[in-house]
Chain A
Amino acid sequence: MAQGSSDEKNRYRHIRAGLDNAVKQAEERKLDELFIVDADCHQREPFELIARYMNSPFREMLLKPDEEDDSFLSRHNRGVDGKYFHSKTRNGRRIRSEVSFPKPQPPEELIEVFTKRMYDLGIKRSIIFPTPLMYLAMDPNHEFEVSATNAYIDFMLEHFLGKYKEMLSPVCLPVNSPDKAAELIDRVGKEKGVIGAMVPSTSPTLAGNKKWDPIYEAAESKSLTICMHSNTYSGGFFSDFDKFIGLHTLCRPVTLATQLTSIVLNGVPERFKKLKFVFVEGGVSWIPWIMQRMDSEYILRRDEAPILTKMPSDYVREFYFTSQPLEYANEEDLEYAFNKIGAENHLMYASDYPHWDFDVPSTIYDLSFLSLKAKKNILGETAKRVFKIN
């Protein structure tokens, strides 16, 4: 039966799945009584609007988009077989269409969608990340990266940040131009609603490289937390995966682990002692592995990391992590990972909504091994403290 035929539409007419069940979950658990912060959710940024804040020639390039050639926005965001691959089933049927909003939305619609979803789920604050913009660091045109990141925060400040207390966001940085990134932090770092500085988990130069120091100096001076957000990066050896399941199993935690290793073993926490780090959208199961791995290597090769004053894992225990996509296939393993990272005080709930593998707040609230205090911390109190949310 061909998709889209009248028979097909009739067959699927019952499909209307929104977030009603999540609303029920929130009511049953009285989540509204908690201060829940969603530490990572997304918009699909409307580039035609953002382009208005950009300089030439990028402004003109984006205002006249060619649908067949959006490569510099998303060429690293294709999965393994092209656009939107991950939102389809193997048979090519799109699911989740009413849960997700895959198309860019104008600000007024986005505000409506976000606030409704937040109130429905008991979420008090949302920290909004972009979607295609997160892949900018892998684009060879670094001037475009500078222009787009500046334009994006200007767009956010005009429409959301400081206007709606529920909506917060880190400033996305052009990491290939650290001096320009520092200038951007200086320009907007103290603006209302700007709660951190976002850097991507895929970048040509790793985050522990001294080239990044201007970024860290600027962020530390403005008391901005570094938010290292993972990517579905399909370059390098990830390009060899012939199915998305393999790519997505590895690319997010492994790219985060790569950056974390660079940061720790190059002594960034020693050089910028007041700086806080949050590693976003990698789940938690990879963290005990990289802690033990780095410690073991450090015992053999300490001479390459003389700046460290303690074991690598000790630095990791000072970092923060967001929860999604939480690996709850085995609760015993999950509890082990929570204990290793000190989740009660270092883990933040994140939904990643509206992306396809989003987590609702009950994924944390229903964990049997957590105390009520730990649940409250993970669901919002830790984010409130780290990001200085009122």
Chain B
Amino acid sequence: MTLHVAGKVDEFQELVPKFLNVDGKSVAVYSFKGKFHAYENLCPHQGGPVCEGFTSGRSEAKVSETGRYLEDYTSSTRFVITCPWHGSEYDLQTGFFNDKLKLKSFPVHIEDELVKVEVSSL
């Protein structure tokens, strides 16, 4: 197991990634709601630098209690990373577009106020 330091905990700004270079490959680490998430900066769609794109509230559909579709809205609790090449978007907390299209994720450990990413292989 190899741990790579991404920075101090208090250096992270919510939704703004910090980038690591691991063996020539780019890894992005996000802070969101007190947790950290690390993804390979490579879009599974066409290989774009996905983590260099916007993070924003996910577009959601508002549905009534009876199941009637009301309108679309932008979520303030669920966020997505949007690839700057084509707009493919991935859930910030899971890395998923769906179960087939998803970012490669890595475990994150907090040790001595340092954010460390466990990168076994890329």
Residues of A within 8 A of B (CB): 11-12, 14-17, 20-22, 25, 89-91, 93, 95-96, 98-99, 356-360, 362-363
Contact = CB atoms under 8 A, between A and B. Distances in A.
Contact of A93 (B15, B48, B54): B54
B46 A360 contact: yes
Contacts of B17: 14
A12 B74 CA distance: 19
- Secondary structure type dominating chain B contacts: loop
A89 B56 contact: yes
- Range class of the B interface residue count: 20 to 34
Interface in B37-61: 42, 46-49, 52-54, 56-57, 59
A22 B49 CA distance: 9
Interface string B74-87: 10000000101111
Contact of B84 (A90, A95, A359, A360): A95
Contacts of A98: 84
Given A14-B17, A99-B85, A356-B87, A25 B52 contact: no
- Secondary structure type dominating chain A contacts: loop
A335 B53 CA distance: 31
Contacts of B52: 14-17
Contacts of B10: none
B19 A357 contact: no
B77 to A, nearest CB: 15
A95 B87 contact: yes
A25 B85 CA distance: 14
Contacts of A21: 42, 47-49, 85
A139 to B, nearest CB: 30
B47 A95 contact: no
A132 B52 CA distance: 30
B65 interface: no
B13 interface: yes
Given A91-B57, A95-B53, A359-B46, 7 more contacts: A11-B16, A17-B48, A17-B52, A89-B54, A90-B59, A90-B74, A98-B84
Nearest to B46: A360
